[in-house]
Chains A and B, each alone.
Chain A
């Protein structure tokens, strides 16, 4: 691989808030290492999108987000040696590369008894315990820590199972979600007992209630802030959102996260008032329709920006609706509330999908963003190693094209006159991986982007009023 490809190029951000994320992430990674050295707080390996951070923070447990550390290795183009390490241990390269990177790193750290040389940002701290999570498609979330236990046999694991009712066009999910709720509440209460045992402390439920309320406020604020991106021109794109996801994925239930979005909201409002867009001359508004990004190639967003393309919305890393708009039962019990929030999040588009023949919740989400954000085209990234978020993306595009044709264009009819017909949105599928840079070619990716831009332009030219 050319040396050029190894060197990360700094991505230009459109907002000051996004530019401030690097030091923030660095601080929470070095913070976990400091805490490890001080030995006062317990550290837990865990996963994002599990709605359990309030429980951990209420008990003063410091989460070590293993997906985040692998992502950082990706951004810094430093994952390869950890992936190779994992492969040399017999793990297949086609497994989730976050997991491989983490396992390679852990084995190396345990073997040396210290951080591997040149570990990004001081490396990933050794945990006191690990909280895995059974989620519908992601097997690494259960198996990753079991595998890591080979190198850390003294570190216990607790698994929380977080199911949600699957979509059935003929059934109302509310008929069964009470059972799911009961099960999830049991799982979360089990987590509380486990953490109590590990920390030797009792859960302070008043504190938990406060943190859950803080999380809810942040959740609503993120939604309101991101909705500002509906403005034309769009003040902040997906490239920046891949930074501003940090507080919402890794720092929920902290005042710092809330304050971050207060500042971001203000910054976006100011940009909108000045008519300032993510790109100077906004020509195309694109939806990041899914897939985790290629973390080492975030610069591709800048490349798209340079062609006049802005990304007002993405389906990755965002809320669905504010809590106050969520159709979930009210409760004073913070654990029960967390469980309802979980169910509300996953079932949010079910009603809409039931009302449109041939639709599915994920397709409804695309349609909602396309309409609300005035989208001209959809970009997706198929990261080969993460099945969880990537299985079904192409199918979603197919369904979308079948049931939703939002662009009126003029076509030459049989009579030689221009006929107005509705056509589907153009789409671009990028293929590589979240952190395995060997799956990526900048030249090919940019060639595809160029062709996509030409397609968008040609649609623009045939667009009928």
Chain B
């Protein structure tokens, strides 16, 4: 009977889930809402649907991300740092540095040749260091988030935008727009500003190639370009940069399960039940 492992990553903005056997069977990505327990159930239901599997077919489930404790059916919780490292090394065996820019935080992780985390750094205090920075600006310019990357790479002369505070930057963009600065230059400026802030943070670590960029931010070509410029290094992006954490969680589950089997140990698992949770 094939073994299936699931990873569910409840991030601050998006929830991602992956089912894995000897390859990725299915994955889903959905927005994280305020009621994370209910959402975890919903995402898992959708994932099982996609994989055409019943919940009880899952051998081991690991949850990760900020909301990892709110997944009632997860057998174990692991932080997103370990899971990202695992997932990225699976996709890029030569990876030594990971930069992740998510909805509300950003992080840098260094890994050694065995794929183990050696160090990490996280920014969790300020929207100006996260994907939210670009989101707010895109919103105020009335541009779809999916398009900001393509628009910004058309710029030849990126504007100078401050990165101290998202609200200031928003006002600065509005003022520049009124002065007639073209939108591609504004967006390129915003990406450079965010890249500058993130690179300052990750430079506290020892950055070695290959550098892998994950998280929602990695879908933005303009941000990839700006990061490459500030880091002065080539950056690799996974085909689906949002799911590396969930993928790593599933891989870790597989590893834990096989280790237990090889030692003849019994692994405790949670009841395979998706509860409907009432919200008052």
Contacts and interface: CB of A to CB of B under 8 A. Distances in A.
Interface string B72-103: 00000011111000000000000000000000
A412 B81 contact: no
A443 to B, nearest CB: 7
Given A394-B204, A447-B66, A458 B116 contact: yes
A450 interface: yes
B119 interface: yes
B117 A441 contact: no
B273 interface: no
A252 to B, nearest CB: 36
Given A447-B66, A455-B117, A411 B112 contact: yes
Interface in A415-465: 423-424, 426-427, 429, 431, 439, 441, 443-444, 447-448, 450-452, 454-455, 458-459, 461-462
Interface in A38-58: none
A367 interface: no
A451 B81 contact: yes
Nearest to B252: A454
Residue with the highest number of chain B CB atoms closer than 10 Å, among A409, A412, A423, A454: A454
Contacts of A429: 121, 204
A412 B89 CA distance: 14
B93 to A, nearest CB: 10
A411 B80 CA distance: 23
B248 to A, nearest CB: 12
Contacts, number: 64
B23 interface: no
B114 interface: yes
A458 B82 contact: yes
A437 B275 CA distance: 37
Contacts of B117: 426, 451, 454-455, 458
B114 A411 contact: yes
Contacts of B66: 443, 447
B51 interface: no
B125 A431 contact: yes
B82 A427 contact: no
A125 to B, nearest CB: 36
A402 to B, nearest CB: 9
Given A441-B124, A443-B66, A447-B79, A455 B119 contact: yes
A401 B207 CA distance: 13
Contacts of B157: none
A455 B80 CA distance: 12
A213 B206 CA distance: 47
14 contacts: A401-B206, A411-B112, A423-B112, A426-B117, A426-B118, A447-B79, A451-B79, A451-B117, A454-B79, A454-B82, A455-B117, A459-B116, A459-B118, A462-B116
Given A409-B112, A454-B79, 13 more contacts: A398-B204, A426-B119, A427-B119, A431-B125, A450-B79, A451-B80, A451-B82, A452-B120, A454-B78, A454-B82, A455-B81, A455-B82, A455-B116
Interface of A: 394, 397-398, 401, 409-412, 423-424, 426-427, 429, 431, 439, 441, 443-444, 447-448, 450-452, 454-455, 458-459, 461-462
